[in-house]
Structure 1
Amino acid sequence: MSKKILITGASGFTGKHAVQHFLGKGYTVHAVTRHTKLDIDHKTVHIHSFDLSDKAAVHALLEDTKPDYILHLAGENSVPESWITPFKSWQANVDSTLHLVEAVRALGLTSRVVIAGSVLQDELSSAASPTHPYSLTKTMQTTVGLAWHNLFQVDVMIAKPSNIIGPGVSNGVCTLFAKQLRQLQASGKSNFQIGNAAVTRDFIDVRDLVAAYETLLLNGTAGETYEITSGRWVSLGEILSLLRRVSNFDFTIQSETEEAMEMKLPMKSEKIRALTWKPTRSLETSLADVWEYTAQQ
C-alpha cells in the first residue's frame, strides 16, 4: 500500500509542484485547498476544500485520512496584505499550523510533519519588534510547530527555503521580471529599468525544493530546522542577463543605482545536504522554464 501524504496549500505555486512530485513517486495524495480549484485528474489524488482555520474540520480530516506525512505549505504569504489584515495573516499562518499539530497530538498520530517557514521570518528573540506582520506570523508559526514537538513529541521539522523560482503562478521577482520583459518586447521597446541591479539573492528551483521536502519527510530529524538554498548568491542584474540569454530578447538594463544596500541572510544548507539532497537544476534552466511559462499567460 502506498504511503499517504497530506499537502496543504495544494493549489499554490509550490503546492501544485508538490502534488505532481509526490504523485510521481507513488504516494496517495490528500490535497487541501481553500478556494482555488485544483485542476488535476488522478485516481490517487483526494481533494479537500476547506479553511484550515476551522479547527474541527482539520481534526476530522486527519482522523479520516491518518496521513503518514504532512507537508504544510498553506498560508498567507503577502507582506502588503499582512499590513492591511494582520489578523487574517495570523489565522492563515499561525492558527492553521496549531490546528494541524494539535490534531496530530490529540489523535495520537505518528505523522511526520514538515512546516514551510520563510526567508523573511525573524528570530524569536525579535518577535516583539518584527519587520512586518507577515514576518511575525511566520516566526510564530514555526515556533508553534517546534513547541508541539518539544512539549508533546509531535514529529515536526521546519524547512526554511530561500527565494523560490520556477514555472507556475508566482509573485517572485524572476517571474515578475519575465512578465515585464514580455510586455516590453511586445511594445517594441528594449530599455528595462530596475531600481537596483546590484541587490543579491539566493534562488532555489521549486522542483528541487519539493524534492528537499521529501528528503526531510523520509530522513529528517524531528525538532530540527533545515535551510534549503542553492548556495549561490546572484545579483538581480545577473538574473536579467540570464533572461536576456534564454529569451533571445536583446534588451538593455538601466539601473537607478548599483549600490548593494541589503545584507545577505546567513542561510546555510549543510544540514539538508548531509541527508544527500542537493539542487539539480541550474539557474539558467530554471529561468528558461519561467520564460516559457510566461508565454502561456
Structure 2
Amino acid sequence: MSKRILITGASGFTGRHAVQYFLDKGYIVDAVIRNTKLNMNQEALHIHSLDLSDKTAVHKLMEDAKPDYVLHLAGENSVPASWKTPFKSWQANVDSTLHLVESVRALGLSARVVIAGSVLQDELSSAASPTHPYSLTKTMQTTVGLAWHNLFQVDVMIAKPSNIIGPGVSNGVCTLFAKQLRQLQVSGKSQFQVGNAAVTRDFIDVRDLVNAYETLFIEGTAGEAYEITSGRWVSLGEILSQFRRVSSFDFSIQSETEEAMEMKLPMKSEKIRALGWEPTRSLETSLADVWDYTAQL
C-alpha cells in the first residue's frame, strides 16, 4: 500500500519539487497551499487550500488525511517582512508548527514529521536577543517541534538546509543573479555589479534536498536535528564565474568591495550522510539548470 505524505508550503520553491518527487516515488501526496495555485493534476495528488494558523482546520485535515509522513515547509521566510509584521511571521512559523504537531499528538497518529529549519535561526540560548524577528520565529518553531517530541513522543525531526538552489521560482541569490545576467545580456552591456564578491556560502540543490527529506523519513531518528549541506563553501564571485561558463556570456565582474566577511562556522552534514544520503548534483549542474530555467521567464 502506498505511503501518504502531507506537504505544507506545497506551492513554494522546495514544495513544488517535493510534491513531484514524492509523486514520482509512488506516494499519495496531500499538498497544502494558501492563497496560491498548484497547477498539477495527478490521481495520487490531493490539494488542500488551508490557513495553517487555523487550529481547527489543521486538526480536521490531519484527521482526514492520516498521513504517514508530514513535511512542513510552509511559513514566512522573509527577514524584511518579519520586521514589518512580526506577529504574522510568528503565526506563520510558530503557530502553524504547533498546530501540526499537536494534531499528531491529539489524534494519536504515528506520522513522522520533518520540520524545515533555517540557516538564519539562532540558538535557543540567544533567543531573547535574536538577530531579527524571522530568526526568532524559526528558533521557536524548531524548539516547539522538538519539545513535542520530548514531552509527548511525537515523531519529530528538524532538517536545517543551507542555501537552496535549483530550477524554479526562487528568491535565492543564484536565481536573482541569473535573472540580472539575462537582463544585462539583452541590454548589450557586459559589466555585472555585485556588492561583495568575497562573501561565501554553502549551496544545496533543491532536488538533493528533497531526497534528503525522504532519507530522514525512512532512516532518521526522532528528536534529532540534521544539517543538510553540500559541504563546500563558495564565494559569490565563484558563483558568477560559474554562470559565465554555463551561459557562454562573457561578462566582467565588478565588486564594490572584496573585504573578507566574517563567516559562521560551517554547517556539518555528517549526521545525515551517516544515514546513506549524499548530494548528487554538482554546483555547475545546478547553476546550469538555473540558467536554463530563467530563459523561460
Normalised to the residue count of structure 2, the TM-score between the two structures is 0.99
Partner SS, residue 280 of structure 2: coil
Partner SS, residue 148 of structure 1: helix
Distance 1:176 1:229 in 2: 21
Q: Deviations over 1:117-145 (max 9, x none)?
A: 00000000010000000000000000000
Q: Deviations over 1:202-228 (max 9, x none)?
A: 000000000000000111000000000
Residue 265 (structure 1) shift = 3.3
CA contact (8 A) 1:200 1:264 kept: no
Distance 1:94 1:72 in 2: 11
Distance 1:265 1:88 in 2: 30
Q: Where does residue 29 of structure 2 map in the other structure?
A: 29
Q: Where does residue 265 of structure 2 map in the other structure?
A: 265
Residue 263 (structure 1) shift = 1.2
CA contact (8 A) 1:200 1:260 kept: no
Q: Deviations over 1:199-254 (max 9, x none)?
A: 00000000000000000011100000000000000000000000000000000000
Q: Deviations over 1:34-83 (max 9, x none)?
A: 11110001000000001000000000000011000000000000000000
Distance 1:74 1:256 in 2: 35
Q: Where does residue 124 of structure 1 map in the other structure?
A: 124
Q: CA RMSD in A?
A: 0.5
Partner SS, residue 81 of structure 1: helix
1:180 paired to 2:187: no
Partner SS, residue 159 of structure 2: strand
Moved over 6 A (4+): none
Distance 2:284 2:266 in 1: 24
Q: Where does residue 4 of structure 2 map in the other structure?
A: 4
Distance 1:15 1:92 in 2: 16
Q: Where does residue 148 of structure 2 map in the other structure?
A: 148
The one-letter amino acid paired with 1:248 is S
Residue 264 (structure 1) shift = 3.2
Q: Deviations over 1:130-174 (max 9, x none)?
A: 000000000000000000000000000000000000001101000
Comparing 136-145 with 250-259, greater Cα deviation is found at 250-259
Q: Where does residue 240 of structure 1 map in the other structure?
A: 240
Partner SS, residue 164 of structure 1: strand
Residue 262 (structure 1) shift = 2.6
The one-letter amino acid paired with 1:29 is V
Normalised to the residue count of structure 1, the TM-score between the two structures is 0.99
The one-letter amino acid paired with 1:75 is G
Partner SS, residue 139 of structure 1: helix
The one-letter amino acid paired with 1:79 is V
Partner SS, residue 216 of structure 2: helix
Q: Where does residue 58 of structure 2 map in the other structure?
A: 58
Comparing 252-261 with 184-193, greater Cα deviation is found at 252-261
Q: Where does residue 96 of structure 2 map in the other structure?
A: 96
Distance 1:149 1:240 in 2: 43
Distance 2:145 2:265 in 1: 23
Q: Where does residue 67 of structure 1 map in the other structure?
A: 67
Distance 1:41 1:73 in 2: 21
Distance 2:191 2:266 in 1: 34
In structure 2, the gaps of 5 or more residues are: none
Q: Deviations over 1:266-287 (max 9, x none)?
A: 3100000000000000000000
CA contact (8 A) 1:203 1:230 kept: yes
Partner SS, residue 150 of structure 1: helix
Aligned residue pair count: 297
